[in-house]
Every structure is written in structure tokens, then in C-alpha cells.
Amino acid sequence: MIKLLPIFSLVLVSCDRGVDQPAPAEKVSWISSDPAYWNEIQFGGEGSAQWNEGVLKLDAGVELTGTQYGGELPGIPYELELEARKIAGSDFFCGLTFPVSSKDECLTLILGGWGGGTVGISSIDGMDASENETTTYRNFEDGTWYRIRVRVKEGHLSAFIDDEQVVDVATDGRKLGLRAGVIEYCAPLGLAAWQTAAEVRGLRWRSLAD
């Protein structure tokens, strides 16, 4: 113990002198999606879906307007977030399709569907976002950015709007899949709006693995 005291004293002096210490590395890094990997979807009667300076602009179409991501996908478990806002229209301004267990098993988070206020997941056990236990209702203001976050874990799914949890559902033993129809073109990762002009920005994800 006596021989160690001088060394301990030196360490204390070095700290008191304000020696710079390296900042701890962030455990999990966010990965931002690259606009170059997004491809406009030809639904038929769609509006334009173009990225410009980090913002995706979805023009209102006859029905769906959307884009599909063709780059590397996040692995399970993961968290994905973005910001979206409705510019004009009366239906969903953000239909976020994402992989659940694989690229072949996907779901869609709907914001503002069925007349502008429905929030939920399509589809669980064959039931749409408007008719399963994830269904809630919310008023979305035109021009207001909403922060959306989805967490996908083994056997569990959760979603948040501006840090308010809106989805909390166990997925073990459930039939998970997209609503039948052209929304399937968004799989495994895509964004779409129904007869509504919208904008999306800041889409990124990170691993939740320990």
C-alpha cells in the first residue's frame, strides 16, 4: 500500500489539471436511410414521391403515392424513427411499412387513416388498423411535424407519436401481414400516403440488440 500511494497521487493531480478524457462511445449508432435507395412505386394514379434535401415529398394521388427502400434493412430487434406531416388531404399521410421478423413478414403503421384520424397497425390476425387492438384516434394538424418511432422486438411491437405510446402489442402466435392490395409494393420497407400530400424527413434506425 505504501508503494502505491505516490502513483495514486499522480493520478489525482493529472485529473485535477483537467487532462482531456475521451468521451464514451455511443453504444448503438443510428443509421440514416440513403435517399438514393428509395424507388417511386407505380401504383397507378400515384402522385410524385421525390426526396429533396433530406425531405420526401409525397404528392396526392388518385389513391396511393409511395416509395420503397431498396437498401440494406435493419435486423431484429431494432428501432426506427422519422418525422412526418400532412400538407393537405383527409386520409393517412404516413403509411410506414416495416419488416417484423423478416422481409417476408411486414406490417404497416397507419397515421390518419379512415377519414384522417385513425392510428393503428395493419394487419394483425387479418384485421386492419381500423379494427384491431392497436386502433386509436388522433387529430393531426396540417403542416405540423410529428415524430414517429417504432420498436420491433421478438414477440413484441410498440409505436410512439411524439413520445406518447400508441401501440403496445404482443405478436407471438399472431398472424402478421400486410393488408391485401397494392400496399404490398411498399414491402419490406416503404412509405405511402392515401389521396393526401405529405412530407417525411429524418428516417433512421438503430439496433436494439444487447
Count of domains for the chain: 1
Whether 10 is in a domain gets the answer no
Whether 81 is in a domain gets the answer yes
User: What average pLDDT is seen over the chain?
Assistant: 89
Q: Is the peptide bond before 77 cis (omega within 30 degrees of 0)?
A: yes
Whether 177 is in a domain gets the answer yes
Give the domain CATH number at 57. Answer: 2.60.120.560
Average pLDDT over residues 19-27: 46
Identify the domain containing residue 117 by its residue range.
Answer: 30-207
Whether 101 is in a domain gets the answer yes
Dump pLDDT digits (tens) for 43-102.
999 999 999 999 999 999 999 999 999 999 999 999 999 999 999 999 999 999 999 988
Phi, psi of 124 (to 5 degrees): -125, 125
pTM of the model: 0.86
Whether 87 is in a domain gets the answer yes
| pLDDT for residue 27 | 58
Whether 7 is in a domain gets the answer no
